[in-house]
Every structure is written in structure tokens, then in C-alpha cells.
Amino acid sequence: MSVGQEIYALAEQLFPICRSITGDGVRRTLDILSEHVNLERHEVPTGTQVFDWTVPKEWNIRSARIRGPDGQTVVDFVDSNLHVVNYSTPFKGTLTLEELKPHIHTLPDQPQRIPYRTCYYAPTWGFCMAHDHLTRLPDGLYRVDIDTELKDGSLTYGEYLHRGQTDREFLLSAHICHPSLANDNCSGLALLALLARSLKAKHTRNSYHFLFAPGTIGSIAWLSRNEDRTHLIDHGLVLSCVGDAASPAYKRSRRGDAFIDRAMAHVLGREAGAKLMDFSPYGYDERQYCSPGFNLPVGMFQRSVHGTFPEYHTSADNLDFISPEHLEDSFRILTDVIDIVEENWTPLNLFPKGEPQLGKRGLYAAVGGQKSSGVTSMALLWVLNLADGQHSLLSMAERSNLPFKELAAAAILLSEYGLLTAAL
């Protein structure tokens, strides 16, 4: 099974679960993810102050349905967990169709799709359905039964730290609060879990911090509990919508020129149709990590940009919308970025006056003028020319427009032949 197929299979397993910003759906999701990576789970009690926010009551749902005038079920949570407005308060009662309609959410411009709606911080109740379905409902009395519970409980998040040779961290974060939406964000959760698993057996220079937390309130809670160690974060990415067919996209950190911004630009610069976007304070949890009190070097990686594709926050964001092929491509992009973070260094040419004679050292024979060796003569020449102790390998890749991997291989080869050393 390819890594893309593995990621898809995990996303498929996560898809049916009704998740929210709190509750047992999050815990069940963390249980599944923990089968792939050893997550440490945290519970933040209801009422806990986290900066300017307060952890809300925990929400769980058992059932929800509407029965029509003929007693037949019109809408049932069992059929799709998008049918109920997420965080709906309990309700039982009989209403006329006109009384019921203000509590029904549809998409008139996408009449066959069910929207995804929430009411986290404004207590109410509601249902979502296809607009075509709503227009066919007859007048009469409707029986509404929403069996939910809002109680003092906790907010749950999970994290995993892959320890490297240093305590400098790369933060990788995905929101765990969305219910049955495959791209947003079963794809991000599944990819991140298997990326963490792939690092377990590797010796890395940096430490890698994986976070699975509810959107907004979860990342804010995590920041409030880890404020004293955020200074360790040198790089960061938020993942969402990484499984569909769109070209990859990256939103820069608030800093705009952080190492992660440059590394992502270099990798995506070699991807057809890739999009690079400046930071904006609208999106996912990157806006919490990049809030002015932290200003962390955290960007966002996705494929289809949230809020811009017709399947976004609808029942069309299903398992048919994502594919193993595109999940694997997203996985490869992230591993390429991690390779840059791990392998970047600043070389110094030990023979800087004129071009060192490569032929007498057998370097041309080692290269053979072919890319099959992983090194080209142009890569050797670029590294030698820019190895003045001021240019890192990433800087060289940006200047030369050659792949980072090629330059990294050239630098290793030149070091082995005694032409380079690491700059102090």
C-alpha cells in the first residue's frame, strides 16, 4: 500500500465521526490517530481562561431528527452529521413549517448539497439540509427532537513530540473540530499522523511538534499552556485541505520572510500551478500562532484554498473529493520541506581564489555530467561560487534556481573531496 493509500484509508476511518470543538468525537478521533502515533492527550476544563477566551461547555450529541406531518422522518442525524448545526442546544417540540424554517439552513445556489454550520458561542439549535429537500416540504406540523448535552467537561487536544538532536522545534498543526468533511480536515489529520509516524525511526537535527487541536479555541488553549516554550519554535505549518486535486498553495507567515516561507516557496516553485499568498488574519490556526503577541514563523499549507471552492463546508466535501494520489503529493511536498530544514547549512570554500581544478580531483568523473548521480557540474560550480560563508544551501537554491536536493548533494561531495567546510 502506498503512503497516499494509507493516508486515504485513515481519512476514510475518520470521516464518519461527528467532531466538534469539544466532546467525545474529538476523543474517538484521537484514539484512532493514536494507533499510528503515540499522542499525549490533554483535557482543559470548562471555564478555564485562555487569554481572552474561556473554554466552553462540552458538547455531545446522541440523536436529532425532524418528523413531518405524516410522521415520516424528514431529516435524521444518522444519515449525515452535517444535518445538525454543530453545538445545537437540546430541543423537543412541535412547530409549523413557517416556525421551523428559521432553524433550517440550506444553500440555494447549491440546492443538492447540505451545508456545514456551527453555533459554538451563540446558543441556539438548527438543522441543515439540501435546499431542494426544503422546497418539497408540505405545510403542517413538524416534530423536532434534538438530543444533545452541554455540560461542564473539557476541551481535548493531542500532541506528539519527535525529539531531535536539539530542542529547536518545527510545529505542525491540524484542526480536529470538523465533522464529516474529508478535505477539511480529515485529510490534514490523517496526513499529519502518518508524517509523524514516518519520523519516529529517523534521527533528526530538529524536534518536531505535532498538534491535533480544535480550531481557534484549541490552538489558543495550547498557546496559553505553552507560552513559556514557544520561543523554541523555529518553523511551523498549519495543514488543511491537502487531499483534493487543486495545485498546492501556501500562505506565508505574518513575518513574510521566515525560513519556512522561503523553504515552501522554493519547493512550490517547482510545482505546476502552485500558489503563494501573503499572510492575512483570516483562515485557520496560523492566525493564532501569528498573532502579534507570538508572531511565530508559522504558515499554512493547503491545496484548494479554504472558502474558495464550491465543495467547502458542504456535503460535497466527501471521500470522493480527495484521492490517494493528491494526499501522497502533499506528503511528498512536506517531506521535501523537512529535508530542507534538516539539511540546510552554510558552507565555506577552502579554495576561494579562482575556480578549484575539479578534473584533477576526479570530481568530473564522480559527477559524470549526469543527474543520475544526484549532482551536476552546475550544482558544483554554484556551490563553490556561493560558498563564501554568507550563503546557506537554501540561499544558493534561491539564487541558482537549482533544486535544493541537488545543491545539498553537491555540497556533501565537495566536502568529501576536501573543498568545503562548514562556516563558523
Give the orientation angle of helix 324-343 with respect to helix 187-199, to 10 degrees: 40
Q: Known binder of ligand: residue 278? A: no
Q: Which three cell numbers, joined as nine digits, stand for 399?
A: 539564487
The whole-angstrom separation of Cα 298 and Cα 300 is: 7
SS (H, E, C) 69-119: CCCCEEEECCCCHHHECECCCCEEEEEEHHHHHHHEECCCCCCCCCECCEC
DSSP state of 247: P
The residues near 368 (Cβ < 8 Å, ≥ 6 apart) are: none
Taking a C-beta distance cutoff of 8 angstroms, is the pair 83, 105 a contact? no
The residues near 64 (Cβ < 8 Å, ≥ 6 apart) are: 76, 77, 83, 84, 88, 127, 145, 146, 147, 148
Q: Known binder of ligand: residue 178? A: yes
Q: Known binder of ligand: residue 313? A: yes
The whole-angstrom separation of Cα 38 and Cα 150 is: 30
The whole-angstrom separation of Cα 202 and Cα 205 is: 10
CA 25 to chain centre: 19
CA angle 106, 112, 73 (to 5 degrees): 75
Taking a C-beta distance cutoff of 8 angstroms, is the pair 218, 21 a contact? yes
What sign has the CA pseudo-torsion 78, 80, 81, 82?
Answer: negative
Q: Which three cell numbers, joined as nine digits, stand for 117?
A: 454550520
Dihedrals phi, psi of 365, to nearest 5 degrees: -65, -35
Taking a C-beta distance cutoff of 8 angstroms, is the pair 339, 380 a contact? no
The residues near 44 (Cβ < 8 Å, ≥ 6 apart) are: 50, 55, 154, 155, 156, 157, 221, 225
The whole-angstrom separation of Cα 161 and Cα 164 is: 9
The whole-angstrom separation of Cα 334 and Cα 341 is: 11
Q: Which residues are annotated as a binding site?
A: 178, 184, 313
Q: Which residues are annotated as a binding site for Zn(2+)?
A: 178, 184, 313
